[in-house]
Amino acid sequence: MAKPKRRFICTECGGISHRWQGQCPDCSEWNTLEEEVAETAFSAKHHLATGGRRIQFEALDTPTTPLARSTTGLAEFDRALGGGIVPGSAILMGGEPGIGKSTLLLQAAAAIARSGKDAVYVSGEEATGQVRLRASRLGLADAPIRLASATSVRDILTTLGDGTPPALLVVDSIQTMHSDMIEGAPGTVSQVRASAFELIRYAKENGVALVLVGHVTKDGSIAGPRVLEHMVDVVMSFEGERSHQYRILRALKNRFGAVDEIGVFAMEGHGLAEVSNPSMLFLSGREEPLAGSAVFPALEGTRPVLVEIQALIVRLQSGATPRRAVVGWDSGRLAMLLAVLESRCGLNFSSAEVYLNVAGGYRLSDPAADLAVAAALVSALADKPLPLRAIWFGEVSLSGEIRPVSHANLRVKEAAKLGFDQACGPLLDSPPAGKMRYGGIGGLPGLVDRVMVSA
Ligand code: TYD
Ligand code: MG
């Protein structure tokens, strides 16, 4: 028999190499390759065309029972999940340390337990005393959760296997779990994968909704290999700036629903409070028009959220390389927008430092933000404030055109409700109706003209 091959797996991207290297050949990260014990050496002589069990094929229209979702008791959590938690599904919850993952899941487990279902919370990171302390601070001490501190997957599954399976099983975190089926310390790629595999199999076989907490790496992906994301049904990310109060729960992958809805929470003294109407959250207390500030009506699923975009331009005297710093938006997109503004409008940012900030710790991913960012930049550069009660939205193309974006009506309607009276966006055949004044802009030069004559 052939000698078992050594394999090395990248902890960042899951890429496989057959020898150890300092740098992963797939994702170019350094020191991320870890050796994995090869389970079996495959032999070319065996082929699998005989000896198996026959499988049944089915037609796509075979009647199935509809997905039974159950509510977690936290409406914002349910919303982000696409309408509740599906029994027998596996959810991976990622997020930076201290963002509130354990708090959120403890609250969800408590809500489920209080509704009369069985919720199990296994912490591999904190002692039960610590979790109890938090629960009492959150006012959840009376919730009939089954709480344990454990890291051995075998212990957990042996214990759960004895009784009726719970409705919810929270494992906090998968990086602390250990499977004795394979070697290696907790947190290594093969351990994370093996532990997750066993837990997911238990969940699927017993109709248990499983939530695995996963740490994230510096670039924001869930630590451990990508394979973890493939193994689960739902990947959620809990985001926000730790220094800010607001947290956003977002599904990055969902086998049972759309991934465009978000859940919004505020971290308060007594835990995470749900924010059911987030449209005003990310506007700072704006009283007077300020140069460099523009309001953008972002769309999160079906809910518009108004966010303030702030730009600051600092002219440099010396020939030093100017900085570009972005918080809450894509820095590549900012570079592109600056280049388009320079080449299509003749503006000069090359000797100036550019700082861009999305207020309130919000992360923008909607491409319709381009026009609002451009408006903030031009306004900051010209030191001319934009009208206080105006919103800006539209996608900017490389040619400097303003392109239409989805749901212009919805965006405008929400802003009008909040007292805005002017909207600037792409040229539209039928501009949004209502009290709001709509100004269509064809291209970036038109934007510059508009900023120059504004308030
Ligand atoms: P935690 O849930 O432990 O984060 P994670 O599991 O993602 O690492 O949340 C920790 C932070 O939340 C901590 O820094 C303090 C803050 N917090 C509050 O502000 N209020 C509260 O009621 C609780 C429980 C935590
Ligand atoms: Mg935690």
C-alpha 270 to ligand 1 mean position (Å): 10
Confidence band for 195, pLDDT divided at 50, 70 and 90 = very high
Pocket, ligand 1, Cβ cutoff 6 A: 95, 97-103, 134, 137-138, 267, 269-271
Of 37-46, 64-73, 158-167, 314-323, the poorest mean pLDDT is in 37-46
Residue 40 has pLDDT above 60, yes or no: no
Which residues, by Cβ under 5 Å, contact ligand 2, an ion?
Answer: 102
Q: Using the predicted structure, report yes or no on whether residue 310 has a pLDDT greater than 80.
A: yes
pLDDT at 236: 92
Can you name the residues that pair with 247 across neighbouring β-strands?
A: 265
CA distance 85 to 91: 9
For residue 306, is pLDDT > 60? yes
Residue 235: CA count within 13 A, CB half-sphere = 18
Does the pLDDT at position 343 exceed 80?
yes
Question: Lowest mean pLDDT: which of 34-43, 140-149, 250-259, 362-371?
Answer: 34-43
Instruction: Look at residue 281 and tell me whether its pLDDT is greater than 90.
Output: no
Distance 359 CA to ligand 1 centre (A): 22
CA of 249 to the centre of ligand 1 (A): 15
108-154 pLDDT, tens digit per residue, is 999 999 999 999 999 999 999 999 999 999 999 999 999 999 999 99
pLDDT higher than threshold 70 for residue 307: yes
Q: Is the pLDDT of residue 82 over 70?
A: yes
- Per-residue DSSP letters for 334-358? HHHHHHHHHHHH----TTEEEEEEE
The residue whose CA has the least distance to atom 12 of ligand 1 is 100
What is the structure's pLDDT at 218? 62
> What are the pLDDT digits (tens) for 97-106?
889 999 999 9
Q: Please choose from 101, 172, 267, 270 the residue to mutate so as to test ligand 1's pocket, defined by most ligand atoms within 8 A of CB.
A: 267
Give the residue among 123, 104, 127 at the shortest CA–CA distance from 175: 123
pLDDT at 243: 80
Q: Map residue 211 onto helix, strand or coil.
A: strand
CA–centroid distance, residue 398 to ligand 2 (Å): 43
Of 104, 149, 96, 147, the closest CA to residue 126 belongs to: 149
Residue nearest to atom 23 of ligand 1 (CA): 271
Determine the distance separating the centroid of ligand 1 and the alpha carbon of 36, expressed in angstroms. Answer: 34
Question: What mean pLDDT is reported for the chain?
Answer: 88
Q: What is the mean pLDDT of residues 152-173?
A: 94
Q: What is the mean pLDDT of residues 327-351?
A: 93
| Minimum-distance ligand 1 atom for the alpha carbon of 271 | 22
Question: Would the pLDDT of 186 be above 80?
Answer: yes
User: Average pLDDT for residues 278-286, to the nearest whole number?
Assistant: 71
Q: What percent of the chain is predicted at pLDDT more than 90?
A: 52
How would residue 30 be classed by pLDDT, with cut points 50, 70 and 90?
confident
Q: Please tell me the residue having the least CA distance from ligand 1 atom 2.
A: 100
Instruction: Indicate the pLDDT class of residue 341, thresholds 50, 70 and 90.
Output: very high
User: Which of the residue ranges 9-18, 113-122, 281-290 has the most confident prediction, judged by mean pLDDT?
Assistant: 113-122
66 C-beta neighbours (distance < 10 Å), count: 6
Q: Which residue has the higher pLDDT, 36 or 43?
A: 36
Can you give the pTM of this predicted structure? 0.77
